[in-house]
Amino acid sequence: MNRIATTLTIAAAFAAGCAVTHLMQPARAASENITAQIIHTQDVSGDALGPANAGGMHSKMYVSADGATVSIQDGNVGKHMHPNANEIQYILEGTGTIWLGDKEVQVKPGDLIVIPHGTAHGGTKPDGRPLKAIAIKTPPQTPDDVKMLD
């Protein structure tokens, strides 16, 4: 009797899985929010990215899709975290030290920084020119998803 019940349960679970898979929408690119463009990152910095925020950071969003945003950031930012958004930064210009988690780390052009949500980062200490980076955030960061630290 237990074998029959187990077999029927497995068959029912398999059928339910097939039905749900059949009804789900396939993944689609969010092309309605993306514009074909070339961004000459070396040509944009400072005020060309918009006015500086209270900490002196200039930022401009170039891509906004359903699951992520892509911005260029230029300047220094205080130590903070994003409770909900993951962030990936690619350093374009500048060298210096930033906080990443509980450590200060050196960064330079060409470095890729992976920042899981909830991880302290920033507190930028440039060696000369402020850092300029491409910042990818997923999911897109909401206005209230910044918690300043220190």
Mean pLDDT computed over 29-35:
60
Cβ atoms of 73 and 57 within 8 Å: the answer is: yes
15 belongs to a structural domain: no
Residue 53: band (very low, low, confident or very high) from pLDDT cuts 50, 70, 90: confident
What pLDDT band is residue 4 in, cutting at 50, 70 and 90?
A: confident
CATH of the domain at 86: 2.60.120.10
Tens digits of residue pLDDT in 119-134: 999 999 999 999 999 9
Does residue 55 sit within a domain? yes
123: Cα separation from own chain's centroid: 18
pLDDT of residue 12: 61
Which residue did the predictor score with more confidence, 7 or 90? 90
Nearest-angstrom CA–CA distance, 121 and 78: 8
Residue 17 lies in a domain: no
Q: Which amino acid is at 89?
A: Q
Owning domain of residue 46: 39-148
Beta-bridged to residue 138, according to DSSP, are 86
Question: What pLDDT shows up at residue 73?
Answer: 96
Neighbours of 82 (CB within 10 A): 19
| Chain position carrying tokens 């949500």 | 117
Residue 135 inside a domain? The answer is: yes
- Is pLDDT above 90 for 19? no
> How many structural domains are present in the chain?
1
In a domain, 25, yes or no: no
In a domain, residue 63? The reply is yes
- The pLDDT of residue 141 is above 50: yes
Question: Does the residue 116 lie in any domain?
Answer: yes
Contacts of 72 (CB under 8 A, 6+ apart): 39, 41, 44, 49, 59, 60, 62, 92, 132, 133, 134, 135
Task: Answer yes or no: is pLDDT of 28 > 60.
Answer: no
Is 71's pLDDT higher than 90?
yes
